[in-house]
C-alpha cells in the first residue's frame, strides 16, 4: 500500500504534513483487511504526495508562488481539504469492513446451523 521510499524533506517539514501522513498510516492499517478493488484504487489515488506538498509552508512563499500554481489559499486550506477527504474515505472503509465482518459472521452461523442438522 504505502510505498516505502525516502520522502523528500519538503513533504514532511511542518506539523500539518506530519499529521496528515500519520493519518495515512492509520488508514493503511485499516485497509490491510480489505481487498475490494474499488477501495484500493481510490486509496492509491488519495496517497498522491502532491497533497502533502501543497501543505508545505515554502510553497506559499512569495517567490515560489509567483512561479507555481496551487489550488489552495494556504497550507492550512490544503490540510483541511485533505483531512476531509481522508475522513470520508475512513468512514467508507469502516462501513465496508463492518459489512464484510457481518457477512462473514452470517456465513459462519449458517455453516454451524447446517452442521448441527447433520
pLDDT in tens, 14-41: 899 999 989 998 888 888 767 778 888 8
What is the rounded CA–CA span in Å between residue 100 and residue 39?
13
- Whether this prediction's pTM lies above 0.75 is answered by no
Q: At a CB cut-off of 8 Å and minimum separation 6, what does 25 contact?
A: 2
Contacts of 46 (CB under 8 A, 6+ apart): 85, 86, 89
Between 45 and 105, name the one with better pLDDT: 45
- Mean pLDDT throughout 64-73? 71
pLDDT confidence tier of residue 2, bands split at 50, 70 and 90: very low
Query: Could you tell me which residue, 13 or 68, shows the higher pLDDT?
Result: 13
Lowest mean pLDDT among 48-52, 87-91, 105-109, 110-114: 110-114
Across the chain, what does the average pLDDT equal?
77
Burial call 20-51: b when 16+ CB within 10 Å, e when fewer = bbebbeebeeebeeeeeeebeeebeeeeebeb
CB-based burial of residue 52 (10 Å sphere; 0-12 exposed, 13-18 middle, 19+ buried)? buried
CA distances from 54 to 75, 100, 117 (A): 6, 35, 61
The predicted structure's pLDDT at residue 111 = 54
Please state the rounded mean pLDDT for residues 44-71. 75
Amino acid at each position: 500500500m504505502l510505498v516505502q521510499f525516502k520522502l523528500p524533506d519538503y513533504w514532511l517539514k511542518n506539523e500539518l504534513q506530519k499529521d496528515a501522513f500519520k493519518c495515512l498510516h492509520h488508514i493503511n492499517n485499516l485497509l490491510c483487511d480489505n481487498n475490494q478493488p474499488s477501495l484500493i484504487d481510490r486509496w492509491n489515488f488519495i496517497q498522491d504526495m502532491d497533497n502533502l506538498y501543497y501543505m508545505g509552508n515554502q510553497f506559499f512563499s512569495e517567490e515560489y508562488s509567483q512561479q507555481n500554481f496551487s489550488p489552495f489559499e494556504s497550507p492550512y486550506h490544503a490540510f483541511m481539504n485533505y483531512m476531509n477527504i481522508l475522513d470520508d474515505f475512513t468512514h467508507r472503509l469502516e462501513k465496508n469492513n463492518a459489512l464484510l465482518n457481518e457477512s462473514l459472521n452470517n456465513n459462519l452461523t449458517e455453516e454451524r446451523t447446517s452442521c448441527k442438522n447433520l
